[in-house]
Amino acid sequence: MNKRDVMELRRRFKKDNCTISRLAGCYVDAYKNKLLTFNENFLNLPEEEFYKYMDLAKKTLGGTIGNNLLELDFPGEEEEPGGRQQFYMGLKSSDLKNEDLLERLYDLIIENYVHTGNYLILVFKDTYDIMSRTSDNMKLDESEEVYEYILVSICPVDLSKPGLGYREDEKRIGARIRDWIVGAPETGFLFPAFNDRSSDIHKADYYIRDAKDSHPEFIEEVLGCSVRRTATELKQKFQAIVKSAYGRDEEQAKLVLSDIAESIGNRVEELRADAENGVSSASPVVLNDRVIDEILEENDVKGSQAQSIKDICHDEFADEAPLLENLVTEKELEKGRAERRERELVKENAQLKERLSVTNTEGDVIVNVDPSLEGRISSRIIDDQKFVLIPVTDDDSIVINGHETDI
């Protein structure tokens, strides 16, 4: 699935384009009890409900690919009779009219979905007549494929916030009646996957609102697919690996992470520039063993820390290496660069003060001057007192003990 595929489906969730035929659902409480199930013709819904449900379906295809939207593969055994893929094929083919299959879906989700509080399971059935397109993306009046799919959305249901409101029946201001409100989807999936404007029954497109938690239990037990981590999860894991290499020295770990992020950011910027200039080799780069070696060497990470980072990364990312571009954001990169500039300025300031300081120790005088002024220095005895003379001009800067002085 690519961004273009996602946008093509999302654009269809409008009144004029919508072809969703059926909607089924199950309302579940915090104790995993089914409080309500329903199954309705979608086009017969009252207009206000129609738009609200359609908005929830659209949001289940929101976010960033690789972070909020993951393309998941069904293992071979799940495509055999009794497997999850076969189950979803049957559910799709039933047009959501087989209540036993719907109940099995609800039970699968209720048993395996980790959530505190009430939630609503929604199942949409849609049929999309995919029109052919020309090379310049213009539609042709001929059908290329009929894409039938189900879209499952799981939405939290929470009590509205307490507050004051107008009690019309009592003609007074009083406590507002709190309602159970359906929120935006937290997770969901599309089956079959929509890949290159075509149906792919070997995959499912999985949505997760919070990219910090992909709910691997849902992926494995509800969908029966191989677990994939979001870009955010992979990034957090990499940062944790670097931090663990420095033990309790959190400050040093922070500095190293900042330097590594800058190195990664520079590489990503170079790749983007190459891509814009049409360089054919400018493809996305993953954090493999070679790249890790190069980045650690660039930032002078050596010894046991370097070996620990390389060994753990090799094992952790053997099957799923993160893209470099997902390991650092522009905001983090700018913050790291600002911190580096601040550290360099502090260091330079300390060195400057040391060069320009005058130190008196038991009658000794140590004067640091710019090398260009050494030819002016002379000594003279005045009234039996020896002096060191340094002639100055109006353009010379005189700093004594770190403070600029006019003489």
**Final residue in a domain of this structure, among 196, 228, 260:** 228
Over residues 337-364, the pLDDT tens digits come to 787 788 788 877 777 766 655 444 555 5
* Domain shared by 186 and 243, yes or no: no
Q: Which residue has the higher pLDDT, 57 or 397?
A: 57
- Contact predicate 384/392, CB 8 Å: no
* Domain shared by 185 and 112, yes or no: yes
The answer to whether residue 6 scores a pLDDT higher than 70 is yes
The answer to whether residue 270 scores a pLDDT higher than 90 is no
* Domain shared by 139 and 214, yes or no: yes
Over residues 209-253, the pLDDT tens digits come to 999 999 999 999 999 998 899 999 999 999 999 999 998 888 888
**Final residue in a domain of this structure, among 228, 261, 282:** 228
* Domain shared by 146 and 270, yes or no: no
Mean pLDDT, range 130-138, rounded to an integer? 68
Q: Which domain holds residue 248?
A: 233-349
Over residues 70-122, the pLDDT tens digits come to 999 999 999 999 999 999 999 999 999 999 999 999 999 999 999 989 999 99
**Dihedrals φ, ψ of 372, to 5°?**
-70, -15
* Domain shared by 106 and 153, yes or no: yes
* Domain shared by 290 and 260, yes or no: yes
**Final residue in a domain of this structure, among 207, 228, 249:** 228
Paired with 69 in beta bridges are 65, 207
Paired with 189 in beta bridges are 152, 206
DSSP helix/strand/coil, 391: coil
Residue 230 has a CB neighbour count (10 Å cut-off) of 24
Enter the DSSP assignment of 78.
G
* Domain shared by 179 and 37, yes or no: yes
**Residue 37 confidence (pLDDT):** 96
**Residue 334 confidence (pLDDT):** 81
Q: How confident is the model at residue 366 (pLDDT cuts 50, 70, 90)?
A: low
Q: Is the peptide bond before 371 cis (omega within 30 degrees of 0)?
A: no
The answer to whether residue 281 scores a pLDDT higher than 60 is no
Q: How confident is the model at residue 16 (pLDDT cuts 50, 70, 90)?
A: confident
Over residues 145-178, the pLDDT tens digits come to 899 999 999 999 998 888 888 888 888 888 888 8
Tokens of 340: 């580096």
- Contact predicate 41/24, CB 8 Å: no
* Domain shared by 143 and 195, yes or no: yes
* Domain shared by 239 and 224, yes or no: no
**Residue 186 confidence (pLDDT):** 96
**Residue 265 confidence (pLDDT):** 86
pLDDT mean across residues, the chain: 86
Domain count, the chain: 3
CA-derived radius of gyration, the chain: 33
